[in-house]
């Protein structure tokens, strides 16, 4: 079978902004078929925002495609705000958006943190969910955060890890998430910029199975407000353990027993290792598990992209 590729670029048929309270306004867009199967795309991070490439994961003739930028992310405002910005605020925002668009039930599509948010929403509102397509599941457990920020992934990427810890004094290196929080919330933009550059460089160096990015030391020069916002929000969520009880999402999978799903996981994903997706697949009888060989974490890696497009093409919603 020839590898599946994304659908051709499309433009939204509607762009809007929705006041969700607490001083936040979220950007959203609708693409594809107004009368099609509703699907909402949940971007990763937290804090990254949606992009034009995400529209192309779905057949525009089949799907009514909804994308939005979560609080403080992308084109939502205020950019980078940490106030009233938690997992449960975002779950509530999704419900506001669903009602605003007049959607009765929708398919949830999310990768990494987007998968976390999809699971949190589905467990809170199972009656509003047609199904889930998830990639590289991250469930926010302490073991997952420790792997990436305290000891585990560093053994595979010692050169890039050295750059990450170089921004923090030795006395603070026993808790990098807390150390970076202090810098990413510093009133001095130059301090925030330098920390954001190092924080995002570590992630960028590890998301792809193959990358040509050489390790570089952080300077803070040329860092955009969007890059700072992304790092601030992601660190903010991790610092607070995503406002989830330890193991909460896995423990509550019984709430999704009647809902179909597809889980796509890169075999060599070091950001969200395969053990988490495997555990969720075992706890979810109606889920189809697809292990993408020769792939890491990023959705754009060909084996993962193939499985995702296959999943959206073949998806059959819950009755």
Task: Tell me which residues are annotated as active site.
Answer: 112, 269, 297
Cis bond upstream, residue 46 (ω within 30): yes
- Spatial separation of the C-alpha atoms in residues 191 and 161, rounded to whole Å: 19
- CA–CA distance from 192 to each of 82, 184, 198, 269 (Å)? 14, 5, 10, 28
How many Cα atoms within 13 Å fall on the side-chain side of residue 241? 11
- Specify the length of the chain in residues: 319
- Spatial separation of the C-alpha atoms in residues 312 and 59, rounded to whole Å: 8
Q: CA nearest 55: which of 307, 316, 317, 299?
A: 299
Write out the two tokens for 134. 């998830």
């Amino acid at each position: 079978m020839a590898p599946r590729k994304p659908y051709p670029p499309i433009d939204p048929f509607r762009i809007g902004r929705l006041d969700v309270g607490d001083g936040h306004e979220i950007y959203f867009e609708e693409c594809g078929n107004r009368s099609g199967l509703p699907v909402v795309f949940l971007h990763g991070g937290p804090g990254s925002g949606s992009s034009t490439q995400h529209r192309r994961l779905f057949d525009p003739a089949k799907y009514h495609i909804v994308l939005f930028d979560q609080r403080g992310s992308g084109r939502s405002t205020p950019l980078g705000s940490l106030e009233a910005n938690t997992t449960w605020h975002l779950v509530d925002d999704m419900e506001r958006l669903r009602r605003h668009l007049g959607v009765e039930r929708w398919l949830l599509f999310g990768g990494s943190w987007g998968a976390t948010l999809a699971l949190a929403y589905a467990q809170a509102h199972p009656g509003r969910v047609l199904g889930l397509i998830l990639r590289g599941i991250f469930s926010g457990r302490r073991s997952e955060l420790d792997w990436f920020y305290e000891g585990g992934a560093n053994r595979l990427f010692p050169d890039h890890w050295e750059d990450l810890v170089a921004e923090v004094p030795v006395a603070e290196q026993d808790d990098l998430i807390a150390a970076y929080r202090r810098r990413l919330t510093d009133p001095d933009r130059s301090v925030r910029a330098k920390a954001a550059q190092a924080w995002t460089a570590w992630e960028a160096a590890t998301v792809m199975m193959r990358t040509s990015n050489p390790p570089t030391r952080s300077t803070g020069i040329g860092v955009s407000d969007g890059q700072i916002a992304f790092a601030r929000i992601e660190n903010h969520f991790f610092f607070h353990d995503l406002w989830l009880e330890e193991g909460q999402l896995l423990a509550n999978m019984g709430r999704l027993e009647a809902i179909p799903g597809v889980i796509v996981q890169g075999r060599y994903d070091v950001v969200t290792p395969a053990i988490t997706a495997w555990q969720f697949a075992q706890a979810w009888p109606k889920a189809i598990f697809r292990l993408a060989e020769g792939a890491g974490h990023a959705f754009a890696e060909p084996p993962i992209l193939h499985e995702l497009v296959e999943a959206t093409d073949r998806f059959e919603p819950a009755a």
